[in-house]
Chain A
Amino acid sequence: MARSQWLWRIGFLALPLTLYLVIVIAPLAYSFFFSLTDWNGFNPEYNFVGLGNFERIFSDPLFGNAIKNTVIWIAVALTVPVLGGLGLALILHEGMRGANVYKSLFYLPICLSLAVIGQIWIWIYQPRWGLLNLTLNGIGLEDLSRAWLADPGTALPSVILAWVWQQLGLGMVIFLAGLTAVPTELTDAAQIDGANYWQTLRHVVVPLLQPSTVVVVALAVINSLKSFDIVYIMTGGGPFHSSDTLAMFMYHESFKKYYMGYGSAISVVLFIIAVTVIAFYFRQIRALEHLYD
């Protein structure tokens, strides 16, 4: 019995684990390896440069710039989709008439590709025909209208806004699911005890939503670290690297300039940041599980 179980285990695990090892784990290790070389992407040969790539990273102003932009990105991701998603979820959870239609319209962007979303928002920012400039001109704010994506001062916020447009629905959906798990007895009890809406929200609902909050926060950070598609499509990281994120910068160095060794070193830094977030996420989840045991 025990032996045949092992045969089944091995039979079931063999293919998926091999695939995972070859496509995810081994390449991960290889990235660490390449980060110590000067491989250019074409030559079969490469030289070891030790920690040279990492030394270069920390003196490269473009890397510092990409880090700064990624931090800004994360900061926005942690505020607008998280708080906005919570707000929308709270309103729509009241179950007003037509709430389902509203919900659908808010999470529609989740099923659109970032390639399409980038495309749509390029039109919004288009200097002559774009909805944004047309609106600004229409209400007499011509001075504010500009080439949003071509202006180094506005390129990054413009791209982030397009991304937030998609992520807001995601936050809302997760908080809505969390709200269905908040027992109405507790909120009713709080109100009978004389708590007003905000007090109930702050002391009863939000603490009970903590599992959803952990998920939304972790997602916001991870998705910010992954932000590449929409940057590539809308600005390519420009103008003058003003909208470069870490992921975009890594792609640019590796596949445009063919500094694959240097690119790998950037990806190693990205990985270390991601692992920190993953560790935080699992710790929080574990703590919550103990809480509800």
Chain B
Amino acid sequence: MTDLSLYRYSQEEWDRLAAREATRRRVLQVVLYLLLTVLVILYSMPSIGVLITSFKSNAEISRGGLWSAPAQLNFANYQEAWVNGNVRTYALNSFLVTIPATVLSIALGVLLGYVFSQLPFRGSEALFILIVSGMFFPPQIVLVPLFRLFNTVGLYNTLWPMIIVHVAFGLPICTLITRNFFATVPSALREAAIIDGANEGQILVKVMLPISLPALAVLATLQFTWIWNDFLWPLIFTQSDNSRTIMVGLISLKGQYSVAWGVQGAMSVIASIPTLFIFIFFQRYFISGLTLGAVKG
């Protein structure tokens, strides 16, 4: 206490000042809290609106509008979307694209990340930067040539172009995250394995991968989410219902159900379930992925 002016206060006054300060802080906190609550409710309105609409019949919507609470949980819209609306096929296609593309992009990214972190060579840093910059390329840059390429090789309107393109465009983020993770592994581990006679392949599979599971989980959640949610590639590479993925299917069904709001809502909810699942159960990994390689989205 170098500030002598403090001594002018008696203990009693001092306590009162401290109490006033505490009250001021608490009031500020409550105000902030209320403000944030209002904001978060407003922020959640769009999602809530879709959810409640998906449970309402057309009759109920025309009576009470889109934004009133449903009288009961009515799954008819989900049934309609799933059975007659082709959503089953779209969802299956989405899984058939997303799962292989997620796995392959991570597998190939691991190989690159291993070389860039454990086996660097002259020029490997430049190569690494070249690959990672791919993360920033607007996909429009390769749209026309890839459209021509897949047409020429006869893969247009199949699931293959989407798988291949997602693996290639997933390489930047997968390489970045695996390289950075491998770089944190103590070199003693690798040296011990070399002394034990392990080759690079064995070191990767038996030493590096088992301790990299958190990094792989981060990548799996990120890649699954981006690929599942993608809209552009299926729009360019598919034409018929049999090969459409769910996000494009959703839009093409809009015409068919233009006045059936409930069915549209149900389709949106179904299309979001897999990524919501990741959001709920693997949030930690997803978030750390966003902040590690926070360059997509």
Q: Do B43 and A16 have beta carbons less than 8 Å apart?
A: no
Nearest Cβ on chain A to B124's Cβ, whole angstroms: 9
Within 8 A of B (CB), among A1-30: 4-5, 8-9, 11-13, 15-17, 19-20, 22-24, 26-28, 30
Q: In this assembly, does B19 line the interface, its C-beta being within 8 Å of a C-beta of chain A?
A: no
Q: Contact at A134–B164, with CB atoms within 8 Å? A: no
User: Nearest Cβ in chain A — how far from B200, in angstroms?
Assistant: 4
Judged by a CB distance under 8 angstroms, whether B83 is at the interface is: no
Partner pick for B114 among A12, A173, A177, CB 8 A cutoff: A12
Nearest CB on B from A140, distance (A):
18
**B111 nearest CB across to chain A (Å):** 4
Q: How far is the CA of A78 from the CA of B146 in the complex (A)?
A: 32
In angstroms, Cα B276 to Cα A116, docked, is: 12
Q: For the complex, what is the distance from the CA of A228 to the CA of B29, rounded to whole Å?
A: 40
Report B-chain residues with C-beta under 8 Å of the C-beta of A117.
46
Are B286 and A111 in contact, with the CB atoms below 8 A? yes
CB closest chain-B residue, reference A110 = B297
Kindly report which residue of chain A lies nearest to residue B278, judged by CB atoms: A111
B144 contacts A31, CB within 8 Å?
Answer: yes
Distance between Cα atoms of A229 and B281 in the complex (Å)? 27
* Interface status of B261 (Cβ within 8 A of chain A): yes
B-facing mask of A251-273, CB < 8 A → 1, else 0? 10011000010011011101100
Question: How many interface residues does B have (CB within 8 Å)?
Answer: 84
Measured between beta carbons, the chain A residues less than 8 angstroms from B287 are 107, 173, 177
For chain B, residues 246 to 271, give those with C-beta under 8 angstroms from any C-beta of chain A: 247-248, 250-251, 254, 261, 264, 268, 271
- Which residues in B have their C-beta under 8 angstroms from that of A110? 290, 297
Interface SS of A by simple majority: helix
Shortest distance between the CB of A23 and any CB in chain B (Å): 4
Q: Is the CB of A116 within 8 A of B271?
A: yes
Contact call A102/B40, Cβ cutoff below 8 A: yes
**Which residues in chain B, 168-188, are within 8 Å of chain A measured between CB atoms?**
168-169, 171, 175
A-side contacts of B72, CB under 8 Å: none
Find out whether the CB atom of B145 lies under 8 angstroms from the CB atom of A31.
yes
| A26-B40 contact, Cβ under 8 Å, with A112-B272, A226-B138 | no
A-B contact pairs, 30 of them (CB 8 A): A9-B121, A12-B111, A12-B200, A15-B111, A16-B108, A16-B175, A17-B112, A19-B171, A22-B168, A26-B145, A27-B146, A28-B137, A41-B144, A96-B33, A106-B43, A107-B287, A111-B278, A113-B229, A116-B50, A123-B66, A131-B67, A226-B139, A247-B140, A250-B143, A251-B140, A260-B144, A271-B138, A274-B141, A278-B133, A278-B136
For the complex of A and B, the 5 pairs showing the least CB-CB separation, nearest first, are: A113-B229, A23-B168, A27-B145, A30-B145, A27-B142
